[in-house]
Structure 1
Amino acid sequence: MIRLGLLMVVTLVGVFMTLDRFGQGDLRTGHRPVPAPTSAATDAGAPSLTAPAAGTLPATPPVDIIPAASQTPERTQRFPGPPLEPSPEYAGATPEPAQAVPADAPVLYVTADRVNMRAGAGTNNPVVASLTGGSAVQALGATGGEWVQVQTEGGQQGFVAAQFLTADAP
């Protein structure tokens, strides 16, 4: 164990002595030419910028300026893929029409900061949308139970816990 420690110390001393002897200065400066200072515009191929004499600038801009909107190419989908087809288990079925909202459906407002609207009555159903506080929804069913079937202004339908809904406008 002592030999290993001694070997590590001797190796580190040797590395430091080598770096001290040969590590002086910047060794790369002797191998590369130092270019004359130039501006970034000159490096990019632009002519050198100097102050023009008084009165030499044209009063109107050049006419060959093209608006950026006409230079932007139109986006096209290059690989559209095959057309969509219904899955085999629903091949002959037609989608159910959305439930019509009754004309006398009460408008309810969300009382919490954020409420989940679910696909069914109960927390074990997936979340369909998230409603923010003060959002107006129309009740599609009875409003006296624990869950109320509602429809948003955007037409999404789902269930919201009745404790988070009120008929009083915010």
Structure 2
Amino acid sequence: MFYYRIKFQLANEKKAKEIALDEHREKFNAAEEYFNSAGANARTYKKIIRQSITPSYVEIIFECASQITNPTMCFRNYSKYLIETFDLGDWITASGNFLKGIESKELSENEVLENEGMQSGEAEEISDIEMVKEILDLCFANSVENAEEKKKRRRTICKMKLLLREYQA
């Protein structure tokens, strides 16, 4: 999985000064649900992991099944959904732009976990036998997982890696 952090602001600078985006949180939350629903069924899986809305920008951390060169382009339908569903056509620039990417960065899995509040040293205590059971379950799991199960599985693997590093030190 590949992870990205993007910050968007309104492309229309005049409207960006007038409109506090956090006052429209429910609209952006609906767009997040739409994006995740569409991303789960897309050719390349995509899902917003975290969305933060401030008065001046929207910060999004999302995961994608394959690496992409321009992560902001993944959000064209997100913008289109906001414009069409909530009639935000007056927020668009004369050239038709709605959101403008002001920052875009690929993140490592550890950075994503840290953003979710799990710091490197926070691996929970696990006995040796539990560790072996988890490893076997992870290695031999043949079931189709949903996004939450994949996330839990990645966290468990990360915890095991952290424990192994501590043990080797």
Give me the TM-score of the superposition, normalised by structure 1: 0.18
Q: Please give the TM-score of this superposition, normalised by the length of structure 2.
A: 0.18
Say which one has the larger Rg: 1
Question: Highest relative contact order (Cα 8 Å, sep 6+), 1 or 2?
Answer: 2
Which structure features the higher share of helix residues? 2
